[in-house]
Amino acid sequence: MIARDRLRSTLRRRRAALSAAERQLAAQRVARHLVKTPWFRAAQRIAGYHAVGGELDAGPALLAALAAGKQVYLPVLAPDGRLWFQRWHPRMPMRRNRFGIPEPAAHPRHRLEARALDLVLTPLVGFDRAGNRLGMGGGFYDRTFAYQRLHRRWRRPPLIGLAYDFQEVNILASEPWDVPLAGIVLPAGARRLETGAAGLP
């Protein structure tokens, strides 16, 4: 755990050192790569996230999804520590959850559970080529997609990380409750990850 905490701190500091121009350029490059992937082309209901703490901005990717006629969702924190996904568009009012992260302020009837999505773009602090993901430590994505650990050949929706190139590490220790990424999109390009490759288009 200490090693994961140290790695988390190191990578977060490196993210924080990026300039606004570097962040914007990286987000635009990631969006351009994402729209060319089979994950994006096959998906109609795409979930993203509101970037905080130096995370790679998913905004350009989500706007590209809307421009392509797809439905876009953002996570909403449920009382049990899992995530629901709320339909979103750029003009929608937002409110902050208990961690200060903006969430769509819309009627719950426009929410979906995780299984109903076609693609989930996930934030992360670090990742490795086996699909292991280092998050912020809250476990929200792992709890929400825990059912995928029971279906090794049916990992739907695919979880695709968005990250800066330097967030890849050689080996990231995994925990029994970790849900692997199916792929990653970086400014340098998009690729499948080893553990999460099963069942992808």
137 belongs to an annotated ligand binding site: yes
| Rounded-to-integer distance, Cα 164 and Cα 98, Å | 27
**Backbone region of residue 17 per phi and psi (left: phi > 0; alpha: psi in -120 to 50; beta: other values):** alpha
Question: Token pair for residue 138?
Answer: 């809250």
Q: Which residues, including other chains, have CB under 8 Å from residue 181's CB and lie 6 or more apart?
A: 122, 124, 127, 131, 132, 133, 159, 160, 161, 193, 195, 196
138 belongs to an annotated ligand binding site: yes
133 belongs to an annotated ligand binding site: yes
172 belongs to an annotated ligand binding site: no
Give CA separation, 28 vs 19, 75, 149, 153, in Å: 14, 22, 32, 32
* Dihedral sign from CA coordinates of 71, 77, 79, 81: positive
140 belongs to an annotated ligand binding site: yes
- The DSSP string of 57-87 is P-HHHHHHHHHTT-EEEEEEE-TTS-EEEEE
136 belongs to an annotated ligand binding site: yes
135 belongs to an annotated ligand binding site: yes
| Residue list, annotated binding site | 55, 133-141
| Residue list, annotated binding site for substrate | 55
| Residue list, annotated binding site for ATP | 133-141
